[in-house]
Structure 1
Amino acid sequence: MDAIDLKILDLLQQDAEQQLAQIAEAVGLSSTPCWRRIQRLKESGVIRRQVALVDAQALNVGVTVFVSVRTATHTQEWFERFRATVQAIPEVVEFYRMSGDVDYLLRVVVPDIAAYDAVYKRLIAGTQLFDVSSSFAMEELKFTTALPLSYVR
């Protein structure tokens, strides 16, 4: 990956709907070589997919809840069941296995506390959990899907 690829990625992370000609001009290429580079980035898995970012408020899911989960069970069978439970809950938009005191961290989006309570009940019904702690975001101060490109070698 060279400097032109990085510039293409930067432009696409800001707006993936830009016309190919605009991207090509911005990186100093004609359209065909620029298109080839984009295709290569897709084929190699650097560009995983292109999606629409939708406004959470417009969809009435403007409340963000960070859910910390601890478990006393660490078997593969337990994990598979827990993962299936979490993946079946559409309000869970991010799901991580963590190091440290918390075993798993979930980001949940809902319209209100009552909706979160329903999510919580589905979460605890699916598996045996030791501790579940929920924190409601008061204000979103930064949100981006753009990844930093300065670490690429």
Structure 2
Amino acid sequence: MELDKTDRKILSLLQDDATLSLNELAEAVNLTTTPCWKRLKKLEDQGIIQKRVALLNPDKLDLSFTAFVMVKTSDHSHEWYSQFVETVSEFPEVMEFYRMAGEYDYMMKVLVKDMPCFDQFYKKLVNSVAGISNVTSTFAMEPLKYTTALPLGAS
């Protein structure tokens, strides 16, 4: 889909504050509410806007221990992959989960309260799926940048 400047502005505004009313959004992009609503509907129908959510402060919820977990496996069958993805996707501590190219096969970002909670997660992970040959974890000491806003640019 080709996005024009107005679509990009709408998306940028919503990334910053998804609680903007239709009137506020329309005014910010110099449209009346009906054309603005039609653009929003089109962006939603095409899956560009997937959903609108509240971003929570993990520190305020005592979830400030971030680990990056890299996994290697010797089993690259579709069956193992499907079971691994299904199992890991059910762990609420896993915030992000990727299949990787390079030294490790999979990487996940894990958010928990502290090291004992991470140890529980680790044990649950390695005991949930057979065929994991190596698990390496690194721990974030300080977040330096975090955003959910996609770099829309002007293209």
| TM-score above 0.5 | yes
- Structure 2 length normalisation: TM-score? 0.94
Cα displacement (A) at 1:58: 1.7
Paired letter, 2:133: F
Equivalent of residue 139 in structure 1, options 139, 142, 151? 142
Unaligned runs of 5+ in 1: none
Q: 4+ residue stretches of structure 1 with deviation over 4 A?
A: none
Q: Give the aligned partner of residue 25 of structure 2.
A: 23
1:39-71 per-residue CA deviation (whole Å, 9 max, x = no partner) reads 110011000011110111122111111001111
Moved more, 54-63 or 3-12: 54-63
Moved more, 18-27 or 137-146: 18-27
Moved more, 107-116 or 21-30: 21-30
Equivalent of residue 108 in structure 2, options 101, 106, 109? 106
Question: Is 2:66–2:139's contact at 8 Å kept on the other side of the alignment?
Answer: yes
Question: Is 2:5–2:154's contact at 8 Å kept on the other side of the alignment?
Answer: no
Q: CA RMSD in A?
A: 1.1
Unaligned runs of 5+ in 2: none
Equivalent of residue 35 in structure 2, options 26, 33, 36? 33
SS of 1:109's equivalent in the other structure is strand
Please say if 1:7 is aligned against 2:9. Answer: yes
SS of 1:23's equivalent in the other structure is helix
Paired letter, 1:36: K
SS of 2:151's equivalent in the other structure is coil
Q: Give the aligned partner of residue 123 of structure 1.
A: 125
Identity among equivalent positions (%) equals: 47
Paired letter, 1:17: T
Question: Is 1:62–1:109's contact at 8 Å kept on the other side of the alignment?
Answer: yes
1:79-127 per-residue CA deviation (whole Å, 9 max, x = no partner) reads 1111122012110111000001110000000000000011001110111
Q: Give the aligned partner of residue 59 of structure 1.
A: 61
Moved more, 108-117 or 80-89: 80-89
Aligned length: 152
Paired letter, 1:110: V
Please say if 1:80 is aligned against 2:77. Answer: no
